[in-house]
């Protein structure tokens, strides 16, 4: 390449120190080497980097672009070195954690806070998925770890998964919903006239998993559990919600649980990861989540 990291480093030093001589001292070189590097850069690129004003060398507009973009290249190069060092130590440069929308992210934040105390410089990315989307994220390498996923209704070859907790669900409606006036327990015929709020399966390639809806019931689809909770609080529809995610709404009366002539489900939630993932960050999170959940 005609633009080298060395040339970028020279331009950066000249700008920071204010002169060719000062840059040379900073880089432990003789001034003539700095001058030659700049002249060679101008010759190779066919542009003027500095113009002379008396005894001063002033960056041209093209030179300013080289300086600014060159600093970005220097940062990127340093990042590459740091990533390589992390990999050499066994730590990933980043870890992506997929949480199923049923999972309370505040629990994960507490674990992340502990992880940051290790000062590993590993970047933590958190994405939200729904139902089959959680396993899709693992299979398609969009995530290193999944938390709170349903039982994997997919080929799990190469995937390890463990149950971490169970979620119980309640059929709830908003505090002004017409179903509050019905005789309990509610029948399917009572419920069918009202929209069921359903979270869309976020899977991109796997077949979507089924939802808890009654036959021939109209559906309103949303993207996350938070959206489903809000929609039901506003009376836009009805449906089952996990108890651990609606404690506040139940406590203040924004959501009202109603008995129905159908058993309320209890579902296991799983922690999952690829068996060939040996990264230290992934293993740390797996072990920590096993202990804390």
Which pLDDT score, from 0 to 100, does residue 125 have?
Answer: 94
The two domains 94-164+269-292 and 168-265 share their CATH topology (first three levels equal): yes
**How far apart are alpha carbons 241 and 100 in whole angstroms?**
14
Output the CATH code of domain 94-164+269-292: 3.40.190.10
CA 219 – CA 235 distance, rounded (Å) = 14
pLDDT tens per residue across span 153-203: 777 788 899 998 899 999 999 999 999 999 999 998 999 999 999 988 887
In the block, tokens 């299979």 appear at: 139
- Fold (CATH) for 5-89: Arc Repressor Mutant, subunit A (1.10.10)
How many CA atoms, within 13 angstroms, populate the side-chain half-sphere of residue 251?
5
Contact present, 145 and 293 (Cβ < 8 Å): no
Q: Is CATH 3.40.640.10 correct for 168-265?
A: no
Q: What is the tens place of the pLDDT at every residue in 210-261?
A: 665 566 678 899 999 999 999 999 999 999 999 999 999 999 999 999 999 8
Residue 211 pLDDT: 62
Residue 293 has pLDDT above 60, yes or no: no
pLDDT at 215: 64
pTM: 0.68
Which residues lie closer than 8 Å to 110 by C-beta, 6 or more apart? Answer: 292
Instruction: Return the percentage of the chain with pLDDT > 90, whole number.
Output: 58
Position 24 pLDDT exceeds 70: yes
- Domain extent listing, the chain: 5-89, 94-164+269-292, 168-265
Residues 265-284: tens digit of each pLDDT: 788 999 999 888 888 999 99
Whether 20 and 14 have beta carbons less than 8 Å apart is answered as yes
- Residue-wise pLDDT for 61-116, tens only, equals 999 999 999 999 998 888 788 777 767 777 888 899 999 999 989 999 999 999 99
Query: Which tokens belong to 103?
Result: 């999972």
Distance CA(241)–CA(32), nearest Å, equals 73
């Amino acid at each position: 390449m005609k633009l080298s990291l060395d040339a970028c480093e020279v331009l950066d030093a000249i700008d920071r120190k204010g002169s060719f001589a000062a840059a040379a001292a900073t880089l432990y070189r003789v001034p003539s080497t700095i001058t030659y590097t700049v002249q060679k850069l101008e010759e190779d690129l066919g542009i003027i980097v500095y113009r002379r004003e008396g005894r001063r060398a002033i960056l041209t507009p093209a030179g300013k672009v080289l300086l600014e973009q060159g600093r970005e290249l220097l940062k990127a190069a340093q990042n590459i070195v740091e990533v390589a060092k992390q990999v050499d130590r066994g730590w990933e440069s980043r870890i992506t954690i997929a949480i199923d929308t049923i999972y309370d992210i505040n629990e994960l934040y507490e674990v992340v806070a502990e992880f940051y105390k290790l000062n590993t410089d590993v970047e933590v990315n958190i994405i939200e998925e729904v139902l089959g989307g959680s396993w899709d994220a693992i299979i398609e390498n969009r995530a290193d770890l999944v938390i709170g996923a349903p039982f994997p209704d997919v080929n799990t070859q190469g995937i390890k998964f463990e149950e971490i907790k169970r979620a119980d669900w309640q059929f709830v409606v908003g505090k002004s919903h017409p179903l509050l006036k019905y005789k309990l327990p509610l029948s399917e015929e009572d419920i069918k006239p009202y929209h069921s709020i359903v979270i869309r399966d976020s899977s991109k390639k796997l077949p979507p998993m089924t939802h808890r809806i009654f036959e021939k019931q109209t559906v309103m689809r949303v993207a996350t559990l938070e959206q489903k909770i809000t929609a039901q609080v506003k009376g836009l529809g009805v449906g089952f919600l996990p108890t651990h995610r609606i404690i506040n709404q139940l406590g203040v009366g924004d959501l009202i649980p109603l008995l129905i002539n159908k058993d309320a489900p209890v579902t296991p939630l799983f922690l999952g990861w690829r068996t060939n993932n040996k990264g230290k960050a992934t293993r740390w999170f797996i072990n920590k989540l096993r202990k804390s959940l």
